Chains A and B, each alone.
Chain A
Amino acid sequence: MDIEPVGASLIRPGQILTDRGALSAASRWTQAVSEADGVCVIHLSSGADVCEIARDGRPASVVDGQRLVQRDGRGGDRERPGRPRHLPRRHPGAPGAALSVCRVLDGQGVGDEAEERLAPFSAYGSWVDACARGTWLTSSFLERDEFGGYAAWSGTSFATALVAGAIADAARSGPVREAAAQVLDPGGGPANCRSGSSRPVESVEFTLSPWLITRRQRGLLVSPGEGGRMQEPRDPAELLKAAADDDQTAWDELESRYGPRMWAVARVCGLTEADAADAVQGAWLRLLEHLHDIREPSGVGAWLATTTRREALLILRKELPRAPYFDVALDSDPAAAVLEADSSRMLWRTVSTLHEPCRTLLQLVATDLGYQQVALRLGVPIGSVGPTRTRCLEKLRTLISLQETVQ
């Protein structure tokens, strides 16, 4: 692939991408970086494997005073470049030498507003050093299919190329660290990557139009002193929207938030582990089908639980065609609501208000102890455990219903 020089700077494409834009192994990245003699800015695009490198601390051995490694802070992709997978992490061993370019501005539209708006696929991660336009840029691309070595595309990979080009261009007249500092405006731009006092990028091969780069120390959602952790969990509606907009991290967060409950729903329907796994997977696939048309995005957790229950019951009916069919799919059973709402704490608080033996008994049955064990620990005859359990659950149900009425 031939790439035109930018002024006195040269761009050396690294041939380490696979033909689908997927990532090569971390070791190949490391090799590419160490072989890049005389290169002052190294732009590592597609971040998943780079994140691996960063975790291993390997860049420290290849970043010296003369060079700067800049990486695309977003994750890699199995299907096309630029799809987000991971939140960025700054490499701990090379402060100042490794940059994270993660926030991507939406260049569509005109005027300041378009410049300030984040692209829908932009990360909200911590440790973002720079932002740049990342939508519909013409850039060098693979020599395959209809792409004759160039493509107009959107993605963080395209935004990072802008930053790399700008730094390389500035580095013609001085050490690269100074060039980076100059381009990245160490005075710090306004918090949301507005243009502020930053400098326009000019004469960079990748740009269609001049664009602005600002330094960002931390993402919007991270407060100083928090060590880069997300300050506020994203609300369900926001997660759903982000997942619909190509953000794998949002999908993963939905999974970690609702997966355990979906599992419990499938199991309570009486499914084996294998069938419960099918029911949970089925519910996620349904969500994929409905990413854009969930009626109440803020209730996506309940939607997932209900869908899991429906899939579980369908599996049950298929496996045991003669089994009695519980029509619980759409009722408003308070017990089902307890399981499907985010109310574990409320549930245990309620249990703790019960008198003995109910309090202890429910704690014991929740840990899956057999009746014999429960009887032993409570010091009651084994024959009384079943009836007591029923009575205690009845009390619990009454209390929960009362609480729901009050709410």
Chain B
Amino acid sequence: MINDEYFLAALRLAAGNDPIPGHVSAAARDAYGLRVPQAVTAAPAECAAPHGVRGTDGCHLVRFVAAGLTFDLEVTVGDGLIDVAGQVVPHPGEGTHVDVRTPHLTLTRRLARTGQFAATGLPPGWLSVVCHRPGHAPVQTRWVRIRP
């Protein structure tokens, strides 16, 4: 069945039906502005709780690891917006800040001594955190999709 659906989609695409909406194209083009040159990308990793699980309270736990840094993100969805509480361990050092990014909004936070940070009121959708350390390449988490 999926084969037929693919053929029909290909026929519709070729016939020019169901065209890509303008806002989807525009968002794709704007995504280029989210590029972090020279960034190391942190891949998802196992954490104490199974990663990516959705808790009963709408809370997601995700862990990313790269370049000697571990990012633990606890993402909560409520009231149509998302809150991120995170920690970078070990602490990357003085002068470090993180950008909590969505395609539409980036919030910059200094790290606490514990390596913790928080950002609230982000729009749901794709989310990534970038850690900027003086003297080192930035480390970005892979993009994760967070929806209520």
B14→A344 contact, CB < 8 A: yes
Most chain B beta-carbon neighbours within 10 Å: one of A260, A285, A333: A285
Write the chain B residue with the least CB distance to A396: B7
Within 8 A of B (CB), among A250-283: 251-252, 255-256, 259-265, 267-268, 270, 273, 276-278, 280-282
Which residues of chain B have C-beta atoms less than 8 A from A289's C-beta? Answer: 41, 140, 142-143
Which residues of chain B have C-beta atoms less than 8 A from A351's C-beta? Answer: 11
B24→A263 contact, CB < 8 A: yes
* Interface: B113 (CB within 8 A): no
B11→A263 contact, CB < 8 A: no
* Interface: B17 (CB within 8 A): yes
Residue among A276, A291, A338 making CB contact with B7, cutoff 8 Å: A338
The smallest beta-carbon distance between A383 and chain B, in angstroms, is 18
- The answer to whether A285 and B143 touch (CB under 8 A), given A263-B24, A347-B14, A365-B11, is yes
* Interface: B138 (CB within 8 A): no
Within 8 A of B (CB), among A359-393: 362-363, 365-368, 389-390, 393
Chain B 1-20 per-residue mask, 1 if CB under 8 angstroms from chain A, else 0 = 01111111111111101111
* Interface: A336 (CB within 8 A): yes
Which residues of chain B have C-beta atoms less than 8 A from A393's C-beta? Answer: 3-4, 7-8
Which residues of chain B have C-beta atoms less than 8 A from A338's C-beta? Answer: 6-7, 10
Write the chain A residue with the least CB distance to B18: A267
Which residues of chain A have C-beta atoms less than 8 A from B142's C-beta? Answer: 289
- The answer to whether A259 and B24 touch (CB under 8 A), given A288-B34, A338-B10, is yes
How far is A251 from B5 in the complex, measured between Cα atoms in Å?
Answer: 29
Residue among B3, B23, B32, B143 making CB contact with A282, cutoff 8 Å: B143
* Interface: B103 (CB within 8 A): yes
Residue among B11, B24, B29 making CB contact with A251, cutoff 8 Å: B29
Which residues of chain B have C-beta atoms less than 8 A from A284's C-beta? Answer: 28, 31
Residue among A259, A343, A366 making CB contact with B15, cutoff 8 Å: A366
B28→A259 contact, CB < 8 A: yes
* Interface: A98 (CB within 8 A): no
- The answer to whether A277 and B23 touch (CB under 8 A), given A78-B33, A79-B33, A289-B41, is yes
The smallest beta-carbon distance between A64 and chain B, in angstroms, is 37
The smallest beta-carbon distance between A238 and chain B, in angstroms, is 17
- The answer to whether A326 and B126 touch (CB under 8 A), given A344-B14, A363-B15, is no
* Interface: A315 (CB within 8 A): yes
* 15 extra interface residue pairs, beta carbon distance < 8 Å, beyond A280-B28, A344-B14: A246-B37, A260-B13, A261-B13, A264-B12, A276-B24, A285-B126, A314-B145, A335-B10, A339-B13, A344-B13, A347-B10, A348-B11, A366-B11, A368-B17, A393-B4
Binding site for A on B (CB under 8 A): 2-15, 17-21, 23-25, 27-29, 31-35, 37, 41, 103, 125-126, 128, 140, 142-143, 145, 147
